[in-house]
Amino acid sequence: MAERMGRRTLAAVATGLALAGGGAAQAADPPPFKPIRSDEDYGYLKSRPVLEGGDRLRFLPLTEDGETYLTLGGETRLRVDSFDAPRFGLGGAQADVYSLGRALFSADLHLGSRLRVYGELGLHRDIGKKDPPAISDRDGLDAQVAFVDLTPDAARRWRLRLGRQEVSLNATQRFVSVREGPNIRQSFDGLRVTRQTPGLRLEAFYLRPIVIQTGAFDDSHNENQRFYGVYASRPLSKAVTLDLYAIELDRNGVRFGAVRGDERRTSLGARLAGKRGAIDYEVEGMVQSGRFAGRDIRAWGGSLGGGYTLARAWSPRLGLRLDAGSGDSDASDGKLETFNPLFPKGAYFNETGLTSWSNLLAVRPSLGLAPRRDVSLEISYLIRRRQTGDDAIYLQPSTPLAPIGADRSRAVGDAAQFDATWQVNRNFKLQAQLVHQSAGDAIQAVNGRAVDFGMLIAQFRF
């Protein structure tokens, strides 16, 4: 069975490679691919008298005036992971080397300037994995994205999007992410209304996260979860942006510690990001309130970070970031203080999945280098502690590693990390990561051990 799945995945990868290679030659360099492919717009190609190379797929006119056109795109990605101690070696986790294969194909139909239909099919497989696949590892052929856009005004200030979609509210994707690192990206079913002007972007949304099933065309949204709110982003200057948001996450039948119940959580937050000369900075904070199983929710989380880029060879960037999320200091006081990171970016800390925002204090100094325009390197060191020793150690996204025991040690351990990315050309990217995660007193107290992790990703887009 695993061998058949492996052959199918390799066939999908080979197909994507052929398509990507066919799109490499082009008359002029198109813009880089965007993190969410549905954000791309190739309507500018209708002014080109002759289309060559990949532009032939990016702009297929269906009417003489070019106002109705089709864009085809896709991706193949192969990720190889080497893990000597998943979950810090707890729960019978064993050393493993395995692959994750992803194949995506999209079609973007523009019916004039006011109506658009977008669809994306995905096929995902795990290859050679010893442990049972994670929920984001495997899926049959299914609709990853399928929505309709309505743009009622000629100036295109308003947009109504209805259907299955990927959501990113800001570039950091700290708490609402497309989940690029894992094999299957995060999708939602629902409605989004966007107003975009030069001085303001306003989003209002009502969504339900997708539940992944392993068969073909059987994914559906989670009827027990609702995710809705408003998000506003305003440039304060050419280099400074302020975001404000209010978000509600309602979930039925979830567990925190030994308690199961319904969660009604409101998150209020703000984010300020900017750059001044060689200095870049970002700060984001969130407070959470609501109710869970008869208990009041009182939680918080956020990040403060920045960097300084030297005007030297390889453009060295010295960075420092502090991340924190509250933990529950007293399980019997009628309050739930554990921070919920909503739909976090899995690779925000690193690709191991061993670090979550819940009950977290983390400091991360880093050194970034750019030896070439298409190559980036980074060395970093993550120092991680529990915010309170009375709450659990959490893995991504907010899964307790082990039941809360008698030990109140806060030191989870430190992680030394190396990242490298090579954007070979517009279509092809290579990415690697190496992590050594030590086992602090809190991990050793539950019989966990240090972790070595390596990852390599080859990704083709067209």
pLDDT in tens, 193-216: 999 999 999 999 999 999 999 999
Residue with tokens 């079913």: 189
Residue 313: phi and psi, rounded to 5, are -55, 140
Structure tokens at 230: 């408003």
Cα dihedral sign for 438, 439, 440, 442?
positive
Residue 22: phi and psi, rounded to 5, are -65, -25
Average pLDDT over residues 19-29: 48
Total H helices, total E strands in the chain: 3, 23
Residue 81 has pLDDT above 50, yes or no: yes
Residue of 375, 376, 298, 367 lying closest to 338 (CA atoms): 298
Structure tokens at 312: 């030297």
What are the domain boundaries of the chain? 2-461
Residue 438 has pLDDT above 50, yes or no: yes
Residue 34 CB: number of other CB atoms within 10 A? 11
Q: Identity (one letter) of the amino acid at 191?
A: L
Predicted local confidence at residue 20, as pLDDT? 43
Average pLDDT over residues 4-30: 47
pLDDT digits (tens, 9 = 90+) for 379-424: 999 999 999 999 999 999 889 998 887 889 999 999 999 999 999 9
pTM: 0.90
pLDDT band of residue 30 (cuts 50, 70, 90) is: confident
Distance CA 386, CA 219 (A): 36
Predicted local confidence at residue 407, as pLDDT? 86
Residue 430 CB: number of other CB atoms within 10 A? 14
Contacts 24+ apart (CB under 8 A), 57-66: 57/19, 57/23, 57/462, 58/30
Taking CA atoms, 29 is separated from 52, 111, 272, 301, 425, in Å, by 11, 26, 33, 41, 11
pLDDT digits (tens, 9 = 90+) for 33-56: 999 999 999 999 999 888 888 999
Residue of 317, 458, 336, 396 lying closest to 134 (CA atoms): 396
Distance CA 447, CA 355 (A): 18
pLDDT band of residue 24 (cuts 50, 70, 90) is: very low
pLDDT digits (tens, 9 = 90+) for 132-171: 999 999 999 999 999 999 999 878 899 999 999 999 999 9
Distance CA 266, CA 151 (A): 30
Predicted local confidence at residue 406, as pLDDT? 81
Residue 68 has pLDDT above 90, yes or no: yes
Residue 10 has pLDDT above 60, yes or no: no
Predicted local confidence at residue 94, as pLDDT? 87
Predicted local confidence at residue 12, as pLDDT? 42
Cα dihedral sign for 91, 330, 271, 201?
positive
Residue 447 has pLDDT above 80, yes or no: yes
End-to-end C-alpha distance for the chain, whole angstroms: 30
Distance CA 216, CA 226 (A): 25
Per the prediction, the chain carries an average pLDDT of 92
Indicate the burial class of 462 (C-beta count within 10 angstroms; 0-12, 13-18, 19 or more).
buried
Structure tokens at 125: 């497989």
CATH class of 2-461: mainly beta
Give the number of residues written for the chain.
462
Specify the DSSP element, H or E, that contains 3. Answer: helix 2-22
Predicted local confidence at residue 28, as pLDDT? 65
Structure tokens at 196: 């975009």
Residue of 29, 38, 45 lying closest to 74 (CA atoms): 38
pLDDT band of residue 17 (cuts 50, 70, 90) is: very low
Predicted local confidence at residue 180, as pLDDT? 96
Residue 236 CB: number of other CB atoms within 10 A? 10
DSSP alpha helix (H) spans, 69-155: none
Residue of 266, 198, 270, 264 lying closest to 232 (CA atoms): 270
Residue 77 vs residue 19, higher pLDDT: 77
DSSP alpha helix (H) spans, 334-454: 441-444
pLDDT digits (tens, 9 = 90+) for 357-372: 999 999 999 999 999 9
CA dihedral 100, 402, 447, 453 (to 10 degrees): 20
